[in-house]
Amino acid sequence: MGKETAAGWRTPYFLIDEERLLHNLEILRGVKEHSGCRILLAQKAFSMYSCYPLLAEFLDGSAASGLYEARLGREEFGKETHVFSPAYREDEFDEILSYADHVVFNSPSQVQRYGRKAKQAGKSIGLRINPECSTQEGHAIYDPCAPGSRLGTTLENFREEQMEVLDGFHFHTLCEQNSDALEVTVAAVEEKFGRWLSKLKWLNLGGGHHITREDYDRERLIRIIRHLRESYGVEVYLEPGEAVVLNAGVLVATVLDTLYNGMDLAILDTSAACHMPDVLEMPYRPPIQGSGLPGEKAWTYRLGGPTCLAGDVIGDYSFDHRLEPGSRVVFEDMALYTMVKTNTFNGMPLPSIVYREKNGRERLVNSFSYEDFKGRL
């Protein structure tokens, strides 16, 4: 699996582009320099640790959501390691403390159960708050402020007496949004929790900030961060995931067969269910190089995967030319929430991982085999 052939790397494979990574990292460094904030990699979006030495030249550390990410961040990224979990396991907590610098709790009951222990271990302690301010539309699955959300402590449930053990607040309310949504959220945080902000050492604004997107208002972001730092005397952290690797990777696939059933269909060697599950979960329509909307170009196809799941459909696309067995299809913006979410349902092989250096040279980072499928069952 993953070996290079006369036509290039065996598909499917993820291709990560160093030049695009550097483009994003330079933007993030500029935000840090002009705002005074600290920026962490959200590993839940991108955990390709062979890139961590490069990322660590620009970023201040990594953010983890559990034991394995915390360990990966500590061992491979270094610098600061921040951990948040909706609920910690007692049999894992000591090990988490061995990796973490910041430990963020989701609820007052978790603070009560583990806070003193973490404090005695010399860790900086935080509480995730829920400002109950939703700025998203259309995908509640990624809205931490949706009604009934399990993520974060609302003002009604906040225990002021726990401030003596808390060093910071953490909130994460955004998903792929601009800084105007952050401004609305910060206003809600100040309204509900503002009386305690000046008593904190730090404030973590979480992720969902699309900082490296072309139309992102970075000047507004910088103003917001400066306002928080100057008004409350806090260190400000951001935890972007997508912004670090936005448009920095593609997924290359091959057409295996075409057929007709009321419309033209193409079966690829990649799978929405296995290789890009957000396509079905969110859902969304991933961009493809050289394609158009249905009917926009000469030939329209419904693209699907080779699994037995009837709903393993990526979407409908049009192309200038017919698709045939052997045609290459390149999905864009596939560095984020892909490699970290792939699975081997139906015995699907995992895509290989290839890295393109600044000089254009490509090298195989990882490939997978039958043993990766068998070994987890």
| pLDDT tens per residue across all 377 residues of the chain | 555 543 489 999 999 999 999 999 999 999 999 999 999 999 999 999 999 999 999 999 999 999 999 999 999 999 999 999 999 999 999 999 999 999 999 999 999 999 999 999 999 999 999 999 989 876 778 889 888 999 999 999 999 999 999 999 999 998 889 999 999 999 999 999 999 999 999 999 999 999 999 999 999 999 999 999 999 999 999 999 999 999 999 999 999 999 999 999 999 999 999 999 999 998 889 999 999 999 999 999 999 999 999 999 999 999 999 999 999 999 999 999 999 999 999 999 999 999 999 999 999 999 999 999 999 99
Contacts for 198 with CB less than 8 Å, ≥ 6 apart: 231, 232, 233, 234
Residue 122 in any domain: the answer is yes
Number of domains in the chain: 2
Q: Which of 195, 215, 245 is the last residue of a domain?
A: 245
CATH number at 157 reads 3.20.20.10
Which is it for strands 264-268 and 313-319: parallel, antiparallel or unpaired?
unpaired
Q: Which domain holds residue 288?
A: 4-15+249-334+342-374
Residue 30 in any domain: the answer is no
Do 64 and 165 fall into the same domain?
yes
Do 154 and 183 fall into the same domain?
yes
pTM for the structure as a whole = 0.94
Do 234 and 256 fall into the same domain?
no
Do 231 and 264 fall into the same domain?
no
Q: Of the candidates 343, 85, 29, 337, which has an alpha carbon nearest to the alpha carbon of residue 208?
A: 337
Do 290 and 213 fall into the same domain?
no
Contacts for 91 with CB less than 8 Å, ≥ 6 apart: none
**197 exposure class (CB count in 10 Å sphere: 0-12, 13-18, 19+):** middle
Share in percent of the chain as helix, strand, coil (round to 5): 35, 25, 40
Do 281 and 369 fall into the same domain?
yes
144-169: burial string, b at 16+ Cβ within 10 Å, e else: bbeeeeebbbeeeebeeebeeebbbb
Residue 27 in any domain: the answer is no
DSSP secondary structure of 250-318: EEEEEEEEEEESSSEEEEESS-HHHH-THHHHTT----BTT-BSTTTSSEEEEEE-SSS-TT-EEEEEE
Do 139 and 151 fall into the same domain?
yes
